[in-house]
């Protein structure tokens, strides 16, 4: 099967993954209107391409908090990679390193942080934190990640409780017995319990700050008000995200929310986006509207399901090639040529 675009990997994963795993990866909350809107919204944005601008030499490198990556697409944190491929997050780490981009490892990984680090020494990795009701558990995780060389801490802010994902409820989704949330062993075993702390407030960022020297990136911001609060509470980065439409259904597409967040932040911290990125031209639209980098969630899982590390590299390479081509066709030879002049919103 020729894998030409990300939808090819989606079709493969849908066909070959066990239904319960596919449903878990695909799920959005309620009737999935926000999950689907994340993708539809890109169609309402149209390019204003420029011509005759010498695109014979292209430079698509960028920097994430000072560290260079080869192109502006990283891997968003998603749980349970062993559901997609036996080596799980170890394969993800290797693929990200091979492509010289950033991998955000989830609290809900099925490999330990130590295994992930050892699989791809020196790769750029951030650790995504869900704060546990027992703060000692989270403190220990943060300190382990820092000691292992993770270079950023991503605090997910949009999951005080887990959204209602209908297929998971119908399937009675839980991890197969041979897979474990290895970083939380002992802290809790059964996914159905809610071990996460729903009492979190902005003040908890100060608590987190006291534990670590790592930059803190807050994930799940969708409004200018929260963007302002994030900056005031001293974070170094914001990921505009709605958790792939898996939390509050009915919220905006992330590409639409990006505009007000970027406007509020005024360059004081880096702003990234995830949700609905399926083509290189989606990456270009997000960059034009002010994202410094984007992250992919489900497409990374489809790549793993296809061929593990190799499959994920294929997904990243396709996005990289499509992004470079879109830039060139829009008249941009380097990232600094990308700006809001490049896009317009259509009434579609």
**CA-based end-to-end distance of the chain:** 34
Contact yes or no for 272/258 (Cβ under 8 A): no
State CA 134 to chain mean position distance: 26
CA–CA gap between residue 234 and residue 216 (Å, rounded) = 8
SS3 of 299, please? Answer: helix
* Distance of closest approach, residue 43 Cβ to ligand FNR, in angstroms: 15
Return the closest-CA partner of residue 38 out of 316, 317, 288, 244.
244
* Distance of closest approach, residue 155 Cβ to ligand FNR, in angstroms: 9
**Is 45 known to sit in a ligand binding site?**
no
**Is 278 known to sit in a ligand binding site?**
yes
Helix (H) or strand (E) holding 345: strand 343-345
CA–CA gap between residue 221 and residue 85 (Å, rounded) = 30
**Is 165 known to sit in a ligand binding site?**
yes
Cβ closest to ligand FNR, residue 27 vs residue 332: 27
| Integer Rg of the chain from CA | 19
* Distance of closest approach, residue 241 Cβ to ligand FNR, in angstroms: 4
Cβ closest to ligand FNR, residue 285 vs residue 332: 285
* Distance of closest approach, residue 52 Cβ to ligand FNR, in angstroms: 35
* Distance of closest approach, residue 80 Cβ to ligand FNR, in angstroms: 7
**Is 149 known to sit in a ligand binding site?**
no
Cβ closest to ligand FNR, residue 276 vs residue 303: 276
Return the closest-CA partner of residue 97 out of 122, 133, 73, 129.
122
Does the active-site annotation cover 178? no
Catalytic residue, from 81, 178, 243, 341: name it. Answer: 243
* Distance of closest approach, residue 166 Cβ to ligand FNR, in angstroms: 15
Residue 327, token pair as written in the block: 């830039």
**Is 79 known to sit in a ligand binding site?**
yes
Return the closest-CA partner of residue 25 out of 76, 63, 67.
76
Cβ closest to ligand FNR, residue 78 vs residue 82: 78
Residues in contact with ligand FNR by CB under 6 A are 24-25, 38, 76-79, 106, 108, 128, 156, 219, 241, 243-244, 246, 274-277, 296-298
**Is 275 known to sit in a ligand binding site?**
yes
CA–CA gap between residue 262 and residue 87 (Å, rounded) = 37
Largest CA distance in the chain: 61
Return the closest-CA partner of residue 75 out of 52, 95, 56.
95
- Residue 99: Cβ-neighbour burial (10 angstroms; 0-12, 13-18, 19+): buried
Cβ closest to ligand FNR, residue 244 vs residue 290: 244
Question: Which residue is associated with the tokens 């989830």?
Answer: 106
**Is 70 known to sit in a ligand binding site?**
no
CA distances from 237 to 62, 68, 96, 242, 293 (A): 15, 16, 20, 16, 11
Nearest residue to the partner ligand FNR, using Cβ: 297
Cβ closest to ligand FNR, residue 251 vs residue 297: 297
**Is 156 known to sit in a ligand binding site?**
yes
Q: Which residues line the annotated binding site?
A: 77-79, 106, 128, 130, 156, 165, 219, 241, 243, 246, 274-278, 297-298
Q: Which residues line the annotated binding site for glyoxylate?
A: 165, 243, 246
As annotated, the active-site residues are 243
Q: Which residues line the annotated binding site for FMN?
A: 77-79, 106, 128, 130, 156, 219, 241, 274-278, 297-298
């Amino acid at each position: 099967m020729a894998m030409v675009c990300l939808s090819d990997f989606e079709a493969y994963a849908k066909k070959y993954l066990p239904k319960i795993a596919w449903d878990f990866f695909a799920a959005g909350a309620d009737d999935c209107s926000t999950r689907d809107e994340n993708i539809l919204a890109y169609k309402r944005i149209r390019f204003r391409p420029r011509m005759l601008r010498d695109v014979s030499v292209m430079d698509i490198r960028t920097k994430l908090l000072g560290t260079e990556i080869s192109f502006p697409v990283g891997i968003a944190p998603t749980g349970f990679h062993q559901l997609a491929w036996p080596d799980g997050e170890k394969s993800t780490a290797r693929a990200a390193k091979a492509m010289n981009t950033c991998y955000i490892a989830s609290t809900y990984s099925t490999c330990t942080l130590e295994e992930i680090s050892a699989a791809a020494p020196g790769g750029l990795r951030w650790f995504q934190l869900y704060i546990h009701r027992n703060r000692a558990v989270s403190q220990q995780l943060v300190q382990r990640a820092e000691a292992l060389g993770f270079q950023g801490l991503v605090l997910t802010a949009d999951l005080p409780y887990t959204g209602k994902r209908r297929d998971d409820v119908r399937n009675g989704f839980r991890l197969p017995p041979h897979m474990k949330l290895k970083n939380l062993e002992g802290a809790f075993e059964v996914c159905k319990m809610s071990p996460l702390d729903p009492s979190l407030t902005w003040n908890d960022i100060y608590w987190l700050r006291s534990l670590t020297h790592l930059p803190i990136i807050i994930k799940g911001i969708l409004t200018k008000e929260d963007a302002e609060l994030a900056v005031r509470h001293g974070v170094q980065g914001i990921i505009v995200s709605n958790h792939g439409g898996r939390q509050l259904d009915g919220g905006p597409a992330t590409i639409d929310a990006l505009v007000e967040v970027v406007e509020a932040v005024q360059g004081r911290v880096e702003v990234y986006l995830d949700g609905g990125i399926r083509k290189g031209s989606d990456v270009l639209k997000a960059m034009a509207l002010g994202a410094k980098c984007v992250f992919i969630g489900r497409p990374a899982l489809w790549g793993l399901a296809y061929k593990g590390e190799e499959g994920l590299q294929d997904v990243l390479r396709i996005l990289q090639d499509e992004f470079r081509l879109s830039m060139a066709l829009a008249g941009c030879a380097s990232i600094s040529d990308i700006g809001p002049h490049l896009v317009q919103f259509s009434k579609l």
